[in-house]
Structure 1
Amino acid sequence: MQRAMTLRSSVLVAALTAGSIVLAATPASSVAGGTAAGTAHAYTAEITVGDHDRGCSGTLVDAEWLLTAASCFAEDPAAGTAVPAGVPRQRTTAVIGRADLTGTQGAERRIVELVPRTDRDVVLARLNRPVTAVTPIALATTAPTAGEELAFAGYGRTQDEWAPLKLHTGTYTVDSADGTTAAVTGKDGAAACAGDSGGPVVRSSGGTATLAALVSRSFQGGCFGTDETVTATGGVAARVDDLTSWVESQTGKARITDFNGDGVEDIAIGDPKATVGGHVAAGLVRIVHGGGKGTAEINQDLDWVPGGAEDGDWFGESLATVDYNEDGYTDLVVGIPAEDVGSEGNAGFVDVLYGGSGGLGTGTQKYTHLEQGVGSGAIAGSASEAGDRMGHSVAAGTTAAGEPWLLIGVPGEALGAVKAAGMAFYVRGGTSVSLHQDKPGVPGGVEADDAFGSSVTGDAHHLAVGVPGEAIGTNKESGAVALFGHTLDAQGMPTVVGGLDQDTESVSGAAEPGDEFGASVAMADYRVSGASQDRASVLVIGSPGEDLTVDGSDRVDAGRAILVRIDASGTWTYLRSLNSGTNDDDVTGTAETGDRFAETVAVVNTAPRQVGSTGTMRIAVGAPGEAIGTVAGAGAVTTFSPFGAAGAADRWLEAGDGDGIPVSPGTGHHLGRSLHFTSTHLYVGMPYGPSAHGALYALPISNVTAGGVIAPVTAYEPGTGGLPANGARFGWAAR
């Protein structure tokens, strides 16, 4: 009777142990007739799942992404290749561009996100940092055809080795192809073995290699550990030649806030005046997990959060997010500027709270505590003093190389005997440096009440620090902004790009007392037309104390914002001014006394890989003092495009106007007191209404885009949606 042959997933038996790797030190020479790869196929990755529990191969198709086999991450590949989106269940690492694993060339990375296909054995795997030393391979554009020969590569078993240390290759002949797979047979006895899953199957034409498929399943004839009676070298490859648009759409997405790593966007909402354990205004942060996965409360009475709840701490007054420990879970940066440190009132500190599979605080690493006089670098060399307000503002992100950074404002810091001159801490790579106006090249002079660091922002390329108390000439509290780049100078400080104020020649307007230029700042990187990468930045600077003359009448504290572009060279260019309109322009609304337009600002690039355009980038400007009819301080928000005239693509948002904020304007509700953009929503805070608790509204991007369709809005309010019915400034901050 003829013995049936089983076509097996080649990852099924790719079990690795530390011991087996040591024992298999002999260089790989063949896979049932294959050959060592040498320097070819540098885009191939060796993937290790868990503590050497499983091994497979992958293919670099983007600086930050691999394509590999979904079966590599499946619980039981024999039962199916379905894997959940999000952070891999086990720690997973990848080595890219290292044909000999005993060497040091190429790059080592951690896989931090999976985006699976549901129709074939394929998954996109995001790396914690981009790979710059290896060129990704482009996807083929036509399907494999019968009789065609394709090269394949992988780090799987060979004919005589369990865990070889060299990349090896072989040749497939295509037997047939259907919509998602290709049947293949190894040429000259070559076969894909356990551990080769996800490796590239490559077409070469005219000296150019393109990725046609991935190794998926194999009979594994001749592979180490396979029954000697099995000699078949056939297999199945998962086609990828038709996945270019899918790959580009996934790799081009902006990152989301995802504290529990399930691939669904979460939101953190600050309520710094909330009572915790009987302590008034101790403050808390509420987490709403996407996908209906519940809510969580974060406060200082939790045993894994530093400090303890006390009256007036205002925990969560400022928030930022970043994957600080690069494990795939979003981490929350919490500023507690009113925290007393010892006997020093309002000295403040900052905590980075780490995400995990169950949300914040559920992983092995719980937090990183940042407090003056503790830790390393400039933060350790400073001392907590009364009124420093460390964490009054916080920003976080990654550099173009993928390295996480923090920027922490300390606007009350005294420099020598100069009170409240202010400074900021730049934290990166396990240490920190201070930024202030007594540093070489930093614009402005050290003066009392400058409040350097009142606002901070940054992106992958640049940083901005607001100095709203800066006196320009004799104009007190006129304000200024200092600009930096992430490249470090000889002193280890971010390179000074420059500075600007309203007396800077190219900036419209003039420095006047009380303008508060720089009270708010927001930045997003983008790609300019003709450039290959996103090395430019759009900076929005708010000046809420600006007085405007409208129709011959002086409107005190009407407020305005300006736009600045910072190029890759560090050159900045003034673009235009944004403010509520007059009776004879096309900007919606009218500038009025007390509007405080631009007290808050936000900007987003929804498609960071594309050339920046009206369709991909939006600016939001809050005017929390705006009167709606006779309702004083109701608040409003206006959205703009960074491109074209201010009124060409603006949109006005107020409570009850049909754009989705489902309440009527209320006196002193101050809609727009906080703003936060994601690639899908604009989050608008109303911490003084509609109830005593406050509220936050998530408006889809279409709702805040001129001509966009009005889609349903998500309202977050204590007492609804699983949120406890308590709080005092819910929506003060959101990330």
Structure 2
Amino acid sequence: MRHLGRAAVTAAVLLTLGGGAVVAAPSAAPAPTPVPFPSIGWQQRNCDYDGNGFDDVLTGAPGATVGGASGAGYATVQYSSSSGLSTTRKSVLHQNVSGVPGGAEAGDRFGGAVASGDLDNDGYDDAVVGIPGEDLVGLSDTGGAVVFWGSPTGLHGSDSTWLENDAPRAGARFGRAVEAARYFAPDPADPDADPRDSLAVLENDTLLFFTLPPGATARQPALAEQRVRAGDLAPSDAGFEFRNLSHGNYNEDSWADLAVSGVTGGEQPGVGTVRVLHGAPDAGALGDGGTFPGGPAVVSGDWDGTGQDDLVIGDTGAGSPTGGGITLYLGRGDLSGLEPEPAQYWTQDSPGVPGTSEAGDQWGAELSAGDTDGDGHPDLAVGAPGEDIGSVPDAGAVWVLRGDRTGFSGTGVRSFDQQLAAIPGTAERSDRWGGQVRLIDANKDGLFGLLAAAPGENTDDGFIWVVPASPSGLVGPGTWTYDGTRLGAPATDARFGAAVDE
């Protein structure tokens, strides 16, 4: 395919993570005195692409055939209103849509990762779609990403921008995960000016950042010089591959922090580790927020009500407890960030949690935060796509843990799967129901419903279930479903719902 133009490089410095320390060159200007800043996890969503005040939904279908190209992939956008989530007011985006850079090709996996943020500070959130299988300049699986800029009429292919690494490498899979927030200032000398979001992008072995340069007239995010190498996060003598990202404000300053997860390679492959980077005015001065075991799933939210974000890590990698688990790390309520020791640890064998921990359940492989009962505390949706339902292997299920001032409570824990009478469909082998989960308050009534994706439904076509919320939490009656076909997109082998923006 044709080579797409590279982003310009802004001046920043190399960040090296090794031996538990962050070493950075001095900033051009001293950092301002930090000021308290509220939680930016579940409470402050950044997915309103048309600016009407309601959260929209961005979904990836990376397996879809587009223009005859198998696995080219697409993404869908569903716009919300006071009536809730719509399946009629929507957009279908892929590389054969007019104006979108590139073209649909086999194995691109457009929609393999998705994220949102206001990258140009115009009041409309923008969507970022990762394309980890994109081939560039004769190199396979180099990867790329496309930014779709928000507007009063939503997202359009004619208003989109290409992103890639300035040094493309075969197999790098740029865009395997993406996450947008205000990690640093576009201009460290004037950190309070133009408070736009920046974009974090994962390759297999490198974390990169993009931001619009100060005074830029063209909407072309520039690649920062700062890069984090996976090898710097690896345990001694082990390889390391990045997997997931989540952002929050763990240390009560005015910058977003970033949790980066990955798994080891080498002689002990698959062991999860999460590294936290504290935001700073200068991209080259991101701080070390600690290293935590577990992963690769991560999600942020203020569970103890301190106004500072906490971090939940799903523990489903090698060496995790049988069936998986989740760990809650609380913010300390000051600039030091997260407590190094966990506040809570949960598995299916914890008191009040339905079911039994079994090998391969992957309980904690997917996580989402939101207030399902309107009590002011975020609850936690926990996906277990490997859960066997009766004798049906890997049918999948979702649990919701109720939040309280301590974190989570064993009282009122609920589980959902396709064998329940109120949930449409039938549990089938390898559906992987709960392979993606998202809690969303689409109509702004203060109650977060559940989107539970089963990318393996109908032999990898993929479906999403919408489970409604009530003052008592999530309830099965009233659950409905949709897939790519309902949104006017290809369905066969699409793996619709393989990525859903948190």
Could you state the TM-score of these two structures normalised by the residue count of structure 2?
0.75
Does 2:359 correspond to 1:359?
no
Does 2:219 correspond to 1:456?
no
Deviation track 1:122-158 (CA, whole Å, cap 9, x = no partner) reads xxxxxxxxxx9xxxxxxxxxxxxxxxxxxxxxxxxxx
Contact 1:295 1:723 in 2 (8 A): no
Which residue does the alignment assign to 1:543?
315
How many residues are paired up? 421
Which residue does the alignment assign to 1:483?
276
Aligned AA (1:395): E
Pick from 383, 408, 420: which aligns with 2:201? 408
Distance in 2 between the 1:267 and 1:688 partners?
20
Which residue does the alignment assign to 2:416?
653
Deviation track 1:204-236 (CA, whole Å, cap 9, x = no partner) reads xxxxxxxxxxxxxxxxxxxxxxxxxxxxxxxxx
Deviation track 1:238-287 (CA, whole Å, cap 9, x = no partner) reads xxxxxxxxxxxxxx974463323334443222110100111010001122
Deviation track 1:485-541 (CA, whole Å, cap 9, x = no partner) reads 11146x72421111122xxxxxxxxxxxxxxx3211111357744xxxx3x212111
Aligned AA (2:284): G
Distance in 1 between the 2:160 and 2:314 partners?
32
Alpha-carbon spacing, 1:467–1:709, altered in 2? closer, same or farther (3 Å): closer
Deviation at 1:638, TM superposition (A): 1.2
Deviation at 1:713, TM superposition (A): 2.8
Structural mapping, 1:59-74, within 5 Å: none
Alpha-carbon spacing, 1:273–1:710, altered in 2? closer, same or farther (3 Å): closer
Pick from 377, 387, 405: which aligns with 1:616? 377
Contact 2:423 2:476 in 1 (8 A): no
SS of 1:570's partner is coil
Distance in 2 between the 1:254 and 1:458 partners?
11
Does 2:398 correspond to 1:637?
yes
Which residue does the alignment assign to 2:163?
370
Distance in 1 between the 2:352 and 2:43 partners?
33
Contact 2:352 2:413 in 1 (8 A): no
Does 2:423 correspond to 1:676?
no
What are structure 2's unaligned runs of at least 5 residues? 1-32, 34-41, 185-191, 214-221, 250-255, 442-447
Aligned AA (1:657): L
Alpha-carbon spacing, 1:709–1:672, altered in 2? closer, same or farther (3 Å): closer
Alpha-carbon spacing, 1:332–1:707, altered in 2? closer, same or farther (3 Å): closer
Contact 1:488 1:495 in 2 (8 A): no
Which residue does the alignment assign to 1:297?
92
Alpha-carbon spacing, 1:732–1:343, altered in 2? closer, same or farther (3 Å): same
Aligned AA (2:286): P
Which residue does the alignment assign to 1:466?
261
Alpha-carbon spacing, 1:522–1:433, altered in 2? closer, same or farther (3 Å): farther
Could you state the TM-score of these two structures normalised by the residue count of structure 1?
0.53
Which residue does the alignment assign to 1:390?
174
Does 2:65 correspond to 1:275?
yes
Q: Matched residues, percent identical? A: 28
Which residue does the alignment assign to 2:253?
none
Contact 2:469 2:475 in 1 (8 A): no
Distance in 1 between the 2:318 and 2:365 partners?
10
Contact 1:523 1:603 in 2 (8 A): yes
Distance in 2 between the 1:398 and 1:677 partners?
22
Alpha-carbon spacing, 1:487–1:437, altered in 2? closer, same or farther (3 Å): same
Which residue does the alignment assign to 1:41?
none
Distance in 2 between the 1:722 and 1:437 partners?
40
| Larger RCO: 1 or 2 (CA < 8 Å, sep 6+) | 2
Aligned AA (1:618): D
Contact 2:230 2:240 in 1 (8 A): no
Which residue does the alignment assign to 1:496?
288
Distance in 2 between the 1:468 and 1:699 partners?
32
Distance in 2 between the 1:631 and 1:622 partners?
17
Aligned AA (2:299): A
Deviation at 1:628, TM superposition (A): 0.4
Alpha-carbon spacing, 1:390–1:286, altered in 2? closer, same or farther (3 Å): same
Which residue does the alignment assign to 1:243?
none
Which residue does the alignment assign to 1:380?
none
Alpha-carbon spacing, 1:681–1:398, altered in 2? closer, same or farther (3 Å): farther
Deviation at 1:723, TM superposition (A): 5.4
Does 2:492 correspond to 1:715?
no
Pick from 110, 116, 140: which aligns with 1:315? 110
Distance in 1 between the 2:228 and 2:43 partners?
35
Distance in 2 between the 1:435 and 1:409 partners?
10
Aligned AA (2:449): H
Deviation track 1:350-403 (CA, whole Å, cap 9, x = no partner) reads 22111223321277xx22322111xxxxxxxxx111111111111123469753
Contact 1:469 1:476 in 2 (8 A): yes
Structural mapping, 1:25-104, within 5 Å: none
Distance in 1 between the 2:431 and 2:496 partners?
12
What are structure 1's unaligned runs of at least 5 residues? 1-131, 133-251, 374-382, 412-421, 502-516, 550-554, 608-612
Distance in 2 between the 1:330 and 1:435 partners?
25
SS of 1:492's partner is helix
Deviation track 1:296-338 (CA, whole Å, cap 9, x = no partner) reads 2101012311111100000000001112222232211111111
Does 2:421 correspond to 1:667?
no
Does 2:325 correspond to 1:560?
yes
Pick from 437, 448, 453: which aligns with 1:685? 453
Contact 1:438 1:446 in 2 (8 A): no
Point out the structure with max Rg over C-alpha.
Answer: 1
Contact 2:437 2:453 in 1 (8 A): yes
Which residue does the alignment assign to 1:696?
464
Which residue does the alignment assign to 1:628?
389
Distance in 2 between the 1:433 and 1:603 partners?
33
Distance in 1 between the 2:118 and 2:414 partners?
33
Aligned AA (1:665): A
Deviation at 1:642, TM superposition (A): 4.7
Alpha-carbon spacing, 1:721–1:309, altered in 2? closer, same or farther (3 Å): closer
Pick from 412, 425, 440: which aligns with 2:208? 425
Alpha-carbon spacing, 1:677–1:447, altered in 2? closer, same or farther (3 Å): farther
Contact 1:437 1:444 in 2 (8 A): no
Which residue does the alignment assign to 2:140?
345
Farther off after superposition, 478-487 or 393-402:
393-402
Alpha-carbon spacing, 1:709–1:693, altered in 2? closer, same or farther (3 Å): closer
Deviation at 1:484, TM superposition (A): 1.1
Distance in 1 between the 2:196 and 2:302 partners?
16
Contact 2:467 2:475 in 1 (8 A): no
Aligned AA (2:93): I
Deviation at 1:546, TM superposition (A): 5.1
Contact 2:394 2:431 in 1 (8 A): yes
RMSD: 3.1
SS of 1:720's partner is helix
Aligned AA (1:307): G
Which residue does the alignment assign to 1:602?
368
